């Protein structure tokens, strides 16, 4: 997934909501719904979850396979890994429907693919083709390249797969999403007649265009309620029944797969060129997120995880049991406890510095975990200094001190290191640091530590 973090103005402390967005790739659906009315969806677990929580993201082709399993109408198509397989998929679609258009889409975990550019100069991550040869040519230009969009950062994301499916002639587009909301005590449908657009922009410019409909989780989405939602969106006649059927199928997917979010944008009325004039309701593009707490009973879904789309540091941190989110500052922070970590980042900011990460080693970290944390932080070339802030409760200061010494020697630390220890076995911990021979700066309290870290980086 792509984690986008707001960068505050100088001396502006990080707010908890900002950290939460960094920790779990905040949902545009929730922010749009919040902007649309007083009963916000701010309690979306994708926003308020702890920093330790990860949310599974799927590629579009995986989402469509899963939706089809639940009876959601999607376009015919298949995934390809190279130009040859892209040609084979295209030829199969054309043999079944000679009049079909072929939509070739790069598969990455980011939006804005159509307007993106590859680092090799190839333009666009979405192409419409009329024949298999052209589709194969477009696939060859994309596979193996790095696609840069407004959500990826300048380095882009590697395209190793593409999706080729039938195009549709779209008559009208809608937005439809389902997510959990504690304010309502269950699932909430968020929908709009303004589909195919940035839902946050819709919420800002025309909040009345967004519909919110809570669903009783005990009864589920019933036929009457689904038809009422369809009517509010302007569906009429047989299209209302078709839309309501798709809404119920999407709700079944949401509940049955333990999703935290099912977002369809656009949901469209249209027909398949070459397949007759009958109009249907299609889920054209989808974003599905799932709660890691359900991994034990959704093994098939979680087996779809593509770790190549994730920050390698996040993956290493997860394996080590650390809560890590990379930011874009210059002072690496190693802290125990999410609240203390946020306070540390705030105070670093107030002293004129900029935190390079959120890293909570937890209450029972081992020396090996501390060493892993050091490697994660120092692997970031932007890190010019490191601040360790530990309050020993369950975790003992001497254990942390041993980990700090071992880690500093292992990684060959070349940036200033500031350490503040307090709590259980603090004197033993400080003695270990004094006897270690490691060049470090000690601090008496958090304010002192932050000031020293910022000064050390500025003078380095």
Q: Which of the residues are catalytic?
A: 175, 263
Residues facing 106 on adjacent strands? 162
Lookup: tokens for 118: 């590859």
Q: What is the CA radius of gyration of the chain?
A: 25
Cα–Cα nearest to 353, from 381, 387, 302: 387
Helix (H, G, I), strand (E, B) or coil at 332: strand
Lookup: tokens for 28: 């545009």
- Contacts of residue 436, defined as CB under 8 A and 6 or more positions apart, other chains included, come to 401, 405, 408
The whole-angstrom separation of Cα 376 and Cα 340 is: 19
The whole-angstrom separation of Cα 105 and Cα 91 is: 16
The residue count of the chain comes to 460
DSSP 380: S
Dihedral angle computed from the Cα positions of residues 249, 254, 257 and 262, in that order, rounded to the nearest 10 degrees: 110
Helix (H, G, I), strand (E, B) or coil at 220: coil
The whole-angstrom separation of Cα 284 and Cα 272 is: 12
The whole-angstrom separation of Cα 5 and Cα 216 is: 34
The whole-angstrom separation of Cα 361 and Cα 364 is: 8
- Contacts of residue 223, defined as CB under 8 A and 6 or more positions apart, other chains included, come to 244, 248
């Amino acid at each position: 997934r792509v984690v986008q973090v707001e960068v505050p103005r100088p001396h502006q402390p990080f707010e908890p909501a900002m950290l939460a967005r960094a920790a779990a790739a905040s949902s545009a659906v929730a922010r749009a719904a919040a902007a649309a009315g007083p009963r916000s969806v701010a309690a979306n677990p994708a926003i308020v979850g702890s920093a330790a929580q990860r949310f599974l993201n799927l590629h579009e082709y995986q989402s469509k396979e899963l939706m089809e399993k639940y009876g959601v109408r999607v376009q015919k198509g298949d995934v390809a890994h190279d130009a040859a397989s892209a040609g084979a998929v295209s030829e199969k679609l054309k043999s079944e429907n000679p009049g079909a258009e072929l939509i070739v889409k790069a598969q990455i975990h980011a939006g804005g693919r159509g307007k993106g550019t590859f680092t090799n100069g190839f333009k666009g991550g979405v192409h419409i083709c009329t024949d298999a040869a052209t589709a194969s040519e477009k696939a060859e230009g994309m596979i193996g390249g790095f696609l840069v969009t407004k959500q990826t950062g300048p380095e882009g994301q590697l395209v190793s797969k593409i999706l080729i499916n039938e195009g549709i002639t779209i008559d009208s587009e809608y937005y439809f999403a389902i997510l959990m909301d504690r304010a309502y005590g269950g699932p909430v449908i968020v929908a709009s007649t303004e589909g195919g657009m940035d839902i946050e922009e819709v919420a800002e410019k025309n909040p009345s265009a967004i519909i919110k409909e809570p669903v009783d989780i005990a009864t589920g989405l019933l036929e009457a309620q689904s038809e009422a939602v369809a009517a509010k969106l302007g569906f009429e006649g047989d299209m209302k029944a078709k839309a309501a059927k798709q809404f119920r199928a999407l709700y079944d997917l949401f509940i049955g797969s333990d999703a935290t979010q099912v977002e369809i944008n656009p949901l469209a009325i249209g027909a398949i060129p070459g397949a007759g004039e009958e109009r249907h309701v299609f889920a054209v593009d989808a974003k599905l997120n799932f709660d890691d707490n359900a991994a034990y009973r959704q093994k098939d879904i979680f087996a779809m995880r593509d770790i190549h789309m994730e920050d390698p540091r996040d993956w290493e941190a997860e394996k080590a049991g650390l809560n890590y989110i990379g930011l874009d500052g210059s002072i690496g922070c190693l802290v125990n406890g999410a609240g203390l970590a946020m306070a540390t980042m705030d105070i670093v900011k107030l002293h004129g510095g900029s935190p390079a990460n959120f890293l909570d080693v937890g209450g029972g970290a081992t020396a090996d975990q501390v060493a892993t944390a050091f490697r994660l932080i120092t692997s970031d070339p932007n890190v010019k200094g490191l601040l360790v802030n530990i309050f020993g409760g369950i975790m003992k200061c001497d254990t942390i001190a041993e980990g700090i010494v071992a880690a500093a020697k292992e990684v060959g630390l070349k940036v200033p290191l500031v350490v503040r220890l307090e709590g259980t076995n603090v004197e033993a911990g400080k003695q270990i640091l004094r006897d270690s021979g490691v060049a470090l700066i000690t601090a008496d309290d958090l304010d002192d530590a932050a000031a020293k870290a910022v000064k050390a980086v500025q003078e380095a």
